[in-house]
Amino acid sequence: MAFKREEEETVVINARILAQLQRFIDHFPFYVILIDDRHRILLANETTSRHFGQAQKDLIGQFCPKKIHNLDEPFPGCPLEVSVQTGQAAESELYDPSRRQWFLSSVFPTRYRTKDGRLVFIHLTHDISEKKVLEEERSHSHDIQTVINLILQRSLENVPLQEFLAYVVNLILNIPWLAFESRGCIFLTEDGSDVLNMKAQNGLSVSIQKTCARVPFGKCLCGRAAVLKESQYSSCIDERHETVYEGIIPHGHYCVPILSGERLLGVINIYIKNGHQREKKEEDFICAVSNVLAGIIERHLAEERLRKTMEGTIKVLDATTEMRDPYTSGHQKRVADLALAIGQKMGLSQSRLEGLYLAAVIHDVGKVHIPVEILNKPGRLTENEFNYIKTHSQVGYDILKTVEFPWPIAQIVLQHHEKIDGSGYPHGLVGDQILLEAKIICVADSIEAMVSYRPYRPALGIHKALEEIKNNRGILYDENVVDASLEIIQENKYQF
């Protein structure tokens, strides 16, 4: 038995010893009690007496769980129970919900016994609420910063805005110390519209997704957050919760606007359990996410506007080129479609595919500089005429070089007639000096030109085109580009 050795050395506690101990423990600024193995209080210091508002003599003989914790029996994990069982000191952190305080409770066995043979323990209790609050704040700050870092990292990846917002909703709902339900969504506004559009959600039923797909400004808590540009909170389904339906489960909400200055971009809507009390730390967390989201959404919207502007510019350039050269009408579009298919087969990222496609759509824009009589000449070109046509790559580069594309469009257009052995033009680049996108357009351009009719010759056909790139694989054309081209065409994954 754990107490066999101690039993031989124990001292029966008497009034003199108790008086000495009383004088000693009264000096401690934290709670100190002497207690036996049945949870009966033998002594209590002045700090304990003041805290519980009872005279020290009135605490003596009381059942500790009842007097201190208002329990009829010891709580699970009680350090006294552990110390009695093991014969060793025991310690645990305890939270008192009635006082909203944290305590460090420590119990130490002594060499004393009561007159009736009960083991005696000294029980020390420190109020560690302030320490726990600081630890909790540090932990929460760390979690918030971690989430924000993850959001910022994800925002740098080339993913659609809707997919990105769904990722953010999942992050918010998976913070363990937040009392959120596993349900929430993000709404965005549309220019010139007083309606919130649900763009991402987690845990919402199909019926709610349909009912709340579009929420007018001012309606329900989300609409109020949009109009007032202030956070809205409800602990239950109150009069502001205008969207109700049969079988609705009682719940509350945090609805936080996403603002860029005074401009409303959207609303974050998080569900909470019915009756949950509003907590600043929870709302502050959502607001922090909202502030970060505002900048990211603004950037996405700006990129989208830029993309539309670029696409419009590209279409104008494409149309201009084809008006000058009606015999190759549709050539750039067909090259772009084939180049895109090759790029997809090679596993290029979505962003690189976009740049590849746009470059291919205008790869011959420099032909606007070539006289029409040369472009449309039905017979074989002279050497001088052909040399003049070869300038279209450089002219295309000169036209595009001042346009701020997010891709190297001008360089791709400049290089699309370069060959990996250095025999191409305009600069005779070799191997890795040539951009991959330019290598892809070079192959797509060669294939399309051979399968199409020209005023100076009939169409040569797909077999002749494939024979050309096969024979020059690794000589004129990049091996990986040729392999991808052959695979998509031979497996009927691409139709001209």
Question: What is the tens place of the pLDDT at every residue in 181-209?
Answer: 889 999 999 877 899 999 999 999 888 89
**Residues in contact with 189: Cβ distance below 8 Å, sequence separation at least 6, in sequence order:** 195, 196, 197, 226, 264, 265, 266
More confident: 7 or 373 = 373
Lowest-confidence segment of 4-8, 65-69, 243-247 by average pLDDT: 4-8
Residue 94: the pLDDT is: 83
Residue 45: the pLDDT is: 93
What's the rounded Cα separation, in Å, for the pair 449 and 460?
9
Provide the pLDDT confidence category of residue 454 given band limits of 50, 70 and 90. Answer: low
Question: What is the side-by-side order of every strand in the sheet holding 251-260?
Answer: 214-216, 195-202, 180-189, 263-273, 251-260, 232-234
Neighbours of 294 (CB within 10 A): 19
Residue 460: the pLDDT is: 78
- Residue 159 scores a pLDDT above 90: no
Residue 293: the pLDDT is: 94
Q: What is 4-127's CATH number?
A: 3.30.450.20
- Residue 389 scores a pLDDT above 90: no
CATH architecture of the domain formed by 325-490: Orthogonal Bundle (1.10)
More confident: 174 or 444 = 444
Residue 1: the pLDDT is: 36
Residue 320: the pLDDT is: 67
Give the pLDDT confidence of 105-130 residue by residue, as tens digits: 999 999 999 999 999 999 998 888 88
pTM (predicted TM-score): 0.55
- Residue 98 scores a pLDDT above 60: yes
Give me the residue label for tokens 């991402």: 200
Residue 2: the pLDDT is: 43
- Residue 274 scores a pLDDT above 60: yes
For the chain, domain boundaries: 4-127, 133-299, 325-490
Residue 321: the pLDDT is: 65
User: What average pLDDT does the chain have?
Assistant: 87
More confident: 307 or 289 = 289
Cα dist from 11 to 6, 115, 125, 196, 212, whole Å? 10, 10, 25, 77, 74
Give the pLDDT confidence of 317-359 residue by residue, as tens digits: 666 666 666 555 578 888 999 999 999 999 998 889 989 999 9
Among 137-151, 302-316, 383-397, 455-469, which range has the highest average pLDDT?
383-397
More confident: 101 or 355 = 355
Average pLDDT over residues 480-485: 95
Asked, colleague to colleague, whether 4-127 and 133-299 share their fold, the answer is yes
Residue 425: the pLDDT is: 94
Cβ contact 25:119 at 8 Å = no
DSSP state of 41: E
Residue 496: the pLDDT is: 66
What's the rounded Cα separation, in Å, for the pair 446 and 489?
14
What's the rounded Cα separation, in Å, for the pair 402 and 335?
24
Residue 374: the pLDDT is: 78
Cβ contact 26:46 at 8 Å = yes
Residue 481: the pLDDT is: 96
Among 273-287, 327-341, 370-384, which range has the highest average pLDDT?
273-287
Residue 456, classed as helix, strand or coil, is: coil
Lowest-confidence segment of 287-291, 319-323, 376-380 by average pLDDT: 319-323
293 token code pair: 């989201």
Average pLDDT over residues 25-45: 93
Residue 318: the pLDDT is: 67
Options 3.30.450.40, 3.40.50.620, 3.30.2090.10, 3.50.50.100; CATH of 133-299 = 3.30.450.40
DSSP assignments along 211-241, one per residue = HTSEEETTSHHHHHHHHHTS-EEESS--TT-
Residue 324: the pLDDT is: 61
